[in-house]
Structure formats: structure tokens, C-alpha cells
Structure 1
């Protein structure tokens, strides 16, 4: 579960991490009122789960009432990488001289959490890791003992953080690790931590993602889940129990297994298409579950064609095929072309059962993906 920036900052502030004064707003009038209460200048920031909001026009600075109104009009309702902006965070602008990155995640290769600090804050940390990996200092932490104070100081000094603020940054990192541990987070970060002219440190952004399987242990965070849905599709995915991520392309993807879906997504890109989503319907493919998945993908106006990648394991291929037929027959009209690749137990029997008047059947995943991409390109043309 991804928290919005305003939600994560609330958690951070409660834990003692310095954050700017801010107010959530959903209309132009609310933005102006919040800006005047906080005092200019302010930042108006779109609350959507995408990176690069600033470059995409989702963050604007306002020095006065007129600029606040204009920022609100520009951002509220805009399409930001496939998401409609319905709320913004109006936040006190920070006069800074330097930006840092601070974060905690799980290093699966080491089997341990890792704390990270970089003086190259304010930019995509993945790009920093790829282009200049030495710019990120790392310290692995034994989960049995937690982060020792000396470890926080070490990674801060290894990163080259100015000595005037090193102690404060180490304190923020220690708090972040404790939040990561206590909240069953998968990752948690501040990018950037801003250093002001007075050598104060402020969390100017906030990212906090929680392990969905641990939400039963996090009732306070679980209450925020409904507000984390960006649109009706994500809300439906939560209701149906699907793992779903909306993307910006036009080729819909449905599969029964995360690895299977990821492979399909990569192949869509490889063959020149653009994935519209990640949708894992989980084990089995009974008619109701398949129908729910198709309803979601068909409801996405960006989708022009759908590729169904199903592996029959415990659930036999012929049962899967019956489920797909039953699901499609529930629709009066199939709104998008559907391509099915079926493999695994009783796959041949399943392919024979599939109604080729409703779907296009391909034996290999490569052929199925290429056909779906072609269908999507025909609609786009």
C-alpha cells in the first residue's frame, strides 16, 4: 500500500521528523485559503502516486494569491501520467541551500534492511544509483538488533553530509528506520531532505509504502488505504483482491501470477507496444474472477487491446478456458479485442475449448503479445 505524500508526512511529523506547514486542498478556493493561512511563498503539489511530478507540471511555486490561483487551476484536474489530480498539498516553501536523499529499504540480495544517504537529493535516486552508484552511501542493518546510533552516523559521514547538519540527518535516518521496522514498510524515504540557510533540516517530500500482507497489524495505517486509491480502477482492484498497477500504455495485460504478468509486460515493450497495466488475478481463473479482471481492463479508456497470459497449474487449462468463455459471454459486446495464450496442464484441451469468436488464441506467449500489440496499433491508427 502506497501512502500519499501528505499521509506519509503526517506519519513522519508524528514521529518527530521536521516537515513544512501544509494543508490538503481539493479546490481553487481551498488552495488560496490554505496558502494565505500558511503564508507565501508556497508550493502546490499534486497528490498522485507518480514520480517526476515537478517535471510533469504537477508541482508549482506561488509567491502571491494570483500565482496560487493559477497553480491550483493548472494542477487540479490535470492528467498526470495517467492519473487525474483531485487533491493537492499546499505547503510552506523551503528556502534551501542543499538537498539530500535519505531512505530505508530491504536489500533482498543481502537479506537485510539497508539504510541509504546521498548528497544528490532532489533527483530520481534510481538514476543516481545507475549513473553514479558511489554517490549513495549504504549501511546494512541486522534486523534482530535494529539500527545502532553509530551506524546512522557512519552512513551519514560516508555520504559526505556537511558536519553542521550531520547529527540532525543521522537522527532523521534513525527515526526513518524505526518507522520502517514498526510499520512493516517495504520502503521509506525522504527525497529531498532540504538543508536551509540556517542549517536546519526539513523533509520536503515523503515516500512510505506498506506491505499489504501486514496491514492487519497496522490498523492506523490500514485506515488510510481507501484514500490511497487514485481512481475507480484501483478501488475495484482492491475490492476484487487483485494486484494492479495502472500504466500509461494501450495494451492491457492480465495474468495469473506476478512473474507471468511481468514477463508479459516486458514482451509488450519489447515488441514495440506500451503496457496499460499490471494485473495479476492470482491463482486460478474461475469465471467470476476472469470477468472482474476483464471489467477492469475494459473500463480503462486507454486500453485498445488485451493479452491474457494464463498458465494452468493446479487449475487445469480446460477449466481456465471455460472460465474465460463464461466471463466473455457475460458481455453483450466485447469492447476490445482479446488475445489468449494458454499453457500448462491440459493447455491443448483448453485451447480447443476457447471460443474463437470471442478471442484470438495463440499457442506461444510471443505470438500472443505481438498479436495484441498489432491490434492496439490498429485501433490507435
Structure 2
């Protein structure tokens, strides 16, 4: 889910993330390292032996082991193995295998994962660096400015929302010229406002310039570094990053798409995307199959109006094929919470007959669907579509009015 910063007016933020491209911490660090941004030395491990070798190979004074999942709050999480915390520090490399053994293959539950937790398949073994100073730095798209802005705060290592609420004067914003990028004067000024001193000012400024180049190169809408820190040795280091991407530029970055980890995603959403369908799972019990995003939202609203909840948002699109209709039914019925399916179609480019034929094929040739189905059709070739459904002999509830279709769906779901 895309997190927006409250330090700017909500309407000022234009942060739309690729819904499924959510990088792990180690992947963000890999991208930053390629852009000459200072990060900790690290290795990724998928087995205990790999972790053992990484710990020895780092030759670090202190090692940090971090479970790699997309949810936050790892440090306060708990593994199904009984191990407390998804982040551990040790100065003894021989302890790393013991810790990793209790992480890999077990579920980590945090405040963001839900009760089931998330299965951990990778851990990051990194050099632990002391932090003498923690600040916050981000580059993001700002609608009011018509382009990117730098946002910084001397209060890092904590939720920036809390800083914005309690100390708004500790939030600094600088508009970036999209044609020329941030000037050296801008980044030096930001570095000083964040509290860097001496030689660290120039280094912080250089790191900001490199972060902006990363922002451009990957078509990001947000690069957030928290903490943007300083070590006791006076080195500026980007300790953690949150990178959000422009979905309209995804076709330009196949190298980013291969980083996608689908193991933590809703499998029905992944399957729907592969089929060219727009699906988002929800917690209700009425499955929705609709063509058009606006109509899908209206369908969900009318279900709520009559006291029930939709199980999903599913927009099959205007150019849907009969095959995709069958795939949509398969995805809907894989959700065990679905007690009724409401099909709401307005025939346009994809006629009602196309939808009806796809339904008949899916319901007669595919696995038997046991839940009741309510169908409301209007628009192009509606008469032919209704005749097709009647000839099929399928046990369907047909309604012409959307309100009546929703009421019927709610009654069937509660029966």
C-alpha cells in the first residue's frame, strides 16, 4: 500500500506506486549501491550455510541479521519458531547460523502482517554501523509544484508523520527544477538544515545528488531514506530506503520487474494480473464481476447500501474475452468467503453477448460452481445475451435493475 507523507497537503502528493512492485530492503540497497549511494556492506542468504559464509566474509566488528519481508515493525515481531524479533545484532559470527535457523522457513508476525504472519525465505546479513546522528531525507513528486521536491528533517529514525504533527517547523521542503535537477546550493543548504557539519555537509550534499539520479533513473515517485544517518567516523550512510515507482513507466524497467517477489501477495491478485484482469481481494462474501472501474465501484457501493460487503473489486475491462470471463469465475470461486457472485455488465465494446457466452462456457465446461449467481445485463446485445443464458439451462438469477440484483445477491449470500 502506498504511504503518503502528511508534511505536504494530501492533494499535493502524486505518489502512485506499482501495486505489486514492493522491494525488499536488500533490493533497495542494491539499487542504491549501483548509484554510488553509501549503504552498509551486506549479503543475502536463503540457507543457513549461506548466512554462515556471509557472516565470516563480511569481517565486520558487529553483524546485523534482518528478516526480509515487506511488512514493517520487524524489530518488534515474533517468529513461529519462538524467536523474538526479526532484527538481531551480534559481534560473534558463530551465532549467526543459530539465529538464521530460527528465521528461515518460519513465519514472522508483526503489527503489519496480521495474525498469520509472513513466511521468511531470505535474510540479510549486513555490517552493523553505529549511528551518531539520524536525519530524514526524501525526494517525491509534488502536484502543487508540478514536479519533484526534496523533503528533509533533522529528526530521523522515527515516523516522519509524528514529526510533522508535533514539530512541523522541523520539516524542510525544497522544490527541484525538473529540467536541471537540484543545484549544489540546494543540497548543501538542505544538508545544513538537517544538522550536518564540517566535511559531512559536502558528503550529505553529494549523497542527495546521487539519490536524485536514482530517482530519475528508475522513474520513481518517491525515494525515502530514514534514517539518513551519520556514523561516528563522520560518514554519511543511507541506512534504510522506501522506493515507490511510477506504474506508467514499468515497461521501461524490466530489470525492476524481475525483482518482484510474489510470495507475499494475494495469489488471486497475481493470477488475475497474469490473465489481464483488475482484481483486488476484500473481506466480504459477495463476489463481483463487472466491466468498468466506475461500474465496479458503484456495484460495491450498492452491495454495502443493502447491508452486505463485497468480496472483491474485479474489473474485467471493456475488451474482455470469453476466455477471460472463465478465468474471472475461477478466481472468484477460489475465495472461500464468496457465498454469491453478482455479475453486473453494461455492454459496450465488449457486448453483453460476449460476457454471456463466456459465462456459459465457464459454468458448463469448467469446475462446477456451487455458489448462486445473480446476473444483471444492460447495453449492447442484451437481448441476445439473455437468450443465450436462458438456452444454457444454467441456474442463474436474472435481474434488469442493479438495485434488485444487489438485493437478490445479499439475500442469497445470507441464506
Deviation, structure 1 residue 264: 7.0
Q: Distance in 1 between matches of 2:143 and 2:373?
A: 36
Q: Distance in 2 between matches of 1:267 and 1:84?
A: 37
Aligned partner (choices 40, 51, 57) of residue 20 of structure 1: 40
Q: Distance in 1 between matches of 2:411 and 2:184?
A: 53
Cα distance, 1:53–1:130 mapped onto 2, change above 3 Å: farther
The residue matched to 2:243 in structure 1 has which SS?
A: strand
Question: Residues 162-205 of structure 1: CA distance to partner in whole angstroms, max 9, x if unpaired?
Answer: 43544433322222222121222233222332332333222222
For normalisation by structure 2, the TM-score amounts to 0.69
**1:60 maps to 2:67:** no
What is the aligned-residue RMSD (CA, Å)?
A: 4.5
The residue matched to 1:177 in structure 2 has which SS?
A: helix
How many residue pairs get matched? 373
Q: Which ranges of structure 1 fall in alignment gaps of 5 or more residues? A: none
Deviates more, 1:260-269 or 1:200-209: 260-269
Deviation, structure 1 residue 17: 0.7
Aligned partner (choices 40, 61, 65) of residue 43 of structure 1: 65
Q: Distance in 2 between matches of 1:78 and 1:130?
A: 34
Deviation, structure 1 residue 366: 11
Cα distance, 1:54–1:229 mapped onto 2, change above 3 Å: same
**1:70 maps to 2:106:** no
Deviation, structure 1 residue 336: 6.0
Q: Distance in 2 between matches of 1:97 and 1:195?
A: 6
Deviation, structure 1 residue 61: 1.0
Corresponding residue number in structure 2 for 1:118: 153
Corresponding residue number in structure 1 for 2:187: 152
The residue matched to 1:163 in structure 2 has which SS?
A: coil
Q: Distance in 2 between matches of 1:30 and 1:286?
A: 47
Deviation, structure 1 residue 15: 0.8
Q: Distance in 1 between matches of 2:125 and 2:403?
A: 47
Contact 1:22 1:89 in 2 (8 A): yes
Q: Distance in 2 between matches of 1:373 and 1:76?
A: 43
Q: Which ranges of structure 2 fall in alignment gaps of 5 or more residues? A: 1-17, 79-84
For normalisation by structure 1, the TM-score amounts to 0.74
Deviation, structure 1 residue 73: 1.9
Question: Residues 196-246 of structure 1: CA distance to partner in whole angstroms, max 9, x if unpaired?
Answer: 233322222233343344344335434445x56646556534532345566
Corresponding residue number in structure 2 for 1:163: 197
Corresponding residue number in structure 2 for 1:204: 239
1:218-367 pair list within 5 angstroms: 218-225=253-260, 227=261, 230=264, 233=268, 235-243=270-278, 249=283, 256-257=291-292, 280-299=315-334, 312-334=347-369, 357=395, 363-364=401-402
Cα distance, 1:361–1:222 mapped onto 2, change above 3 Å: same
Contact 1:361 1:368 in 2 (8 A): no
Q: Distance in 1 between matches of 2:366 and 2:310?
A: 24
Contact 1:305 1:373 in 2 (8 A): no
